[in-house]
Amino acid sequence: MVKNKNNRAIWNTRIKEKSSTLFQKVGSSINIDKRIYKEDILGSIAHVEMLFKQKIISFKVKNKIIYGLQKIDKEISKNKFEFSDKYEDIHMNIEKNLFKIIGEDAGYIHTARSRNDQVITDFKIWMKKATKEINNNLEKIIKSTIKISEKNIETIMPGFTHLKNAQPISLAHYLMAYVEMFTRDIKRFENNLESLNQNPLGVAALTGTSFNIDRNYTTKKLGFKYPTNNSIDTISDRDFVLDFLYSISVCSIHISRIAEELIIWNSDGFNLINLSDKIVTGSSIMPQKKNPDHLEHLRGKSGINFGNLITMLTILKGLPLSYFKDLQDDKEIAFKSYDTLIDCLKLFNEVLNNITPNKKEMYKLAESGYITATDLADYLVKNHSMSFRKAYQKTAEIVNLAEKKKKKLTELEINELQKIEPKLTSDVLKVFDLKYSVNSKNSYGGTSFENIKRMIMKYKKK
């Protein structure tokens, strides 16, 4: 590193006092942002290639810098690089080392750029890769979910509203609901690429630069689509971080909701699914216990991710344009949310492959709670030209009767039904059958077996 007379880092040239060691410790981000060293080196190489093309630096200097950067890349990947708090962040750590390797020519690297545009360039390149990795994992989950759905098209269970038996559904229909959610998650992450594809490099500290740089060149080199439009906005903008954290939060909600539901289904009260020993843990005191810790972990971690979104919103609230040290924490937050989500996605996929539906119990539960009452009301409307409200009233009377006689709807005799509605014939009894009920829901998006098969086909083609 080029040092001034007081032997301090170059950006401290005018600062007379030695920086507080406490601040050096807390203000340094190297332990966090060393994670984007590859992106930083990539950005720097594109930058110096552009500087050479624009005749701002010489061929020799460009080559020396690239040689040095590639050497640093290797050293870091082989764990042979010494990171130091003293140089604050990944940008200065690399620059300092470049001086060690190639000498004074390293000083040309920072022409026409600032750490302000440098850091968001690195961060956006990282986030594009992270987005891809998240979506790959989501695709795996969708595949696993479809696989289980295919095997459970005819598995009938109660559909709940208010967690009370509502109407019978196919287990596959329930699972395919999550395929819709995870597909929207993928789309949400993909939508973020629009702004992630705008290249910040070249806006320098906040104003742009007087050097004749070519931002389209670095844009292309670094795989962005366009250069950003306004230098002040570029430096200040962390919307892309919010978008990322929000998308992670929504995806976490989906995982948390299904985790919660599977915990309920696995409870001894419901007993609708079994979890293999791979995804349960024992209790330290109760020898009989097999607890759904994996699912609870998935549910709990969503809280961490929401918190990170709120943290970032709070950091940005009321922050004037353009760069402030406050912004430095954006990376730690995004990395944490990303790591948490990736772990959760992988864990969830493992969970999916270790659940068995308890088909008998599902069917048994669906037989209780007069779950086909709505089917009777629909039947009355269709076959006895009643208004739905009138049919609803008649059906309620029939449910009351069943309740009084402690019978299921399927156990009622036709003459008992006729006491309430004389026009009824024994043809009506079919509507109480669970399979009949499920298959009658053949409106687009409904739970009929045919619909589900078609939907599964559609997703498999995708």
Of 20, 283, 387, 426, which residue is the catalytic one?
283
Among positions 96, 115, 124, 128, the unique one binding ligand ARG when judged by CB under 6 A: 115
Q: Which is nearer to ligand ARG, 61 or 315 (CB)?
A: 315
Could you say whether residue 328 binds ligand ARG (CB under 6 A)?
yes
* Torsion, CA 203, CA 208, CA 213, CA 218, rounded to 10: 10
Active site residue 283: yes
**Within positions 7 to 66, which residues make up the interface with ligand ARG, using CB under 6 A?**
29
**CA gap 236, 377 in Å, rounded:** 60
Place of tokens 């969830």: 348
**CA gap 266, 281 in Å, rounded:** 13
Q: Which stretch binds ligand ARG (CB under 6 A): 147-155, 237-245, 289-297, 322-330?
A: 322-330
Could you say whether residue 113 binds ligand ARG (CB under 6 A)?
no
**CA gap 337, 184 in Å, rounded:** 19
Q: Which stretch binds ligand ARG (CB under 6 A): 114-122, 257-265, 300-308, 342-350?
A: 114-122
Among positions 138, 156, 181, 327, the unique one binding ligand ARG when judged by CB under 6 A: 327
Could you say whether residue 258 binds ligand ARG (CB under 6 A)?
no
Among positions 189, 323, 338, 449, the unique one binding ligand ARG when judged by CB under 6 A: 323
Please, what is the minimum distance in Å from the beta carbon of residue 128 to ligand ARG?
A: 18
Q: Which is nearer to ligand ARG, 10 or 399 (CB)?
A: 10
Q: Determine the size of the site formed for ligand ARG (CB under 6 A).
A: 8
Please, what is the minimum distance in Å from the beta carbon of residue 114 to ligand ARG?
A: 7
Please, what is the minimum distance in Å from the beta carbon of residue 36 to ligand ARG?
A: 10
Q: Which stretch binds ligand ARG (CB under 6 A): 222-230, 257-265, 287-295, 320-328?
A: 320-328
Among positions 44, 93, 97, 116, the unique one binding ligand ARG when judged by CB under 6 A: 116
Please, what is the minimum distance in Å from the beta carbon of residue 343 to ligand ARG?
A: 24
Q: Which stretch binds ligand ARG (CB under 6 A): 111-119, 151-159, 209-217, 272-280?
A: 111-119
Could you say whether residue 238 binds ligand ARG (CB under 6 A)?
no
Could you say whether residue 89 binds ligand ARG (CB under 6 A)?
yes
Which residues does the annotation mark as catalytic?
162, 283
Judged by the rule CB under 6 A, the positions of this chain that interact with ligand ARG are: 29, 89, 115-116, 119, 323, 327-328
